[in-house]
Amino acid sequence: MSAMSTSWYRIKNLAKPDMAIDVKNDGNQERDGALKMAPDHDVTGQHWQLRPSPTNEGAYNLSTKWLGTKMLLDVYGSDKTRPHLSPAGDYTGQQWKVEKYGNGTWKLSNAYSGPLVLAAEESGSELRLKDPKSSPASQWILEPTVLGQ
């Protein structure tokens, strides 16, 4: 998994492989980066980097090319099921485990949300952390990418 720290990935959902995790361009993304599932496009909000956490061995901090390493994938302190991007800090909600399912997909969970895993909502447009059942909605494809491809 060492290549993750220098590579860029589009994070796509097995249940909806033509969709990727993206940042909502709502004017508030520098303070509270809302996320959505969006059609797979070559936009910097869909290019993710997974860097080893400096404070939690085996965990990763996830950032986008658009907002950089100052904004990391996190969950709200008041709602462990709602992912968003927030200013980088030493928060357990920003420390993500990236574990293989064994079928070419990955499970994403964080230290703050406990056993819950990142999943796409059935509508396909929203993200939540849910009970860790093995379903296509909670299985993620890390597609290596570079801008312009």
Measured in whole angstroms, how far is the alpha carbon of residue 75 from the centre of its chain?
11
122 belongs to a structural domain: yes
CATH number, residue 130? 2.80.10.50
Number of domains in the chain: 1
27 belongs to a structural domain: yes
pLDDT category at 29 given cuts 50, 70, 90 is confident
114 belongs to a structural domain: yes
86 belongs to a structural domain: yes
Per-residue pLDDT tens digits for 30-41: 788 999 999 999
Mean pLDDT of the chain: 91
| pLDDT for residue 148 is more than 90 | no
49 belongs to a structural domain: yes
pLDDT category at 72 given cuts 50, 70, 90 is very high
Burial class of residue 54, CB neighbours in 10 A (0-12, 13-18, 19+): exposed
Q: Which of 25-29, 46-50, 105-109, 126-130 has the lowest mean pLDDT?
A: 25-29
45 belongs to a structural domain: yes
29 belongs to a structural domain: yes
149 belongs to a structural domain: no
Phi-psi bin for 21: left (phi > 0), alpha (psi -120 to 50), beta? beta
The range of the structural domain enclosing residue 52 comes to: 2-144
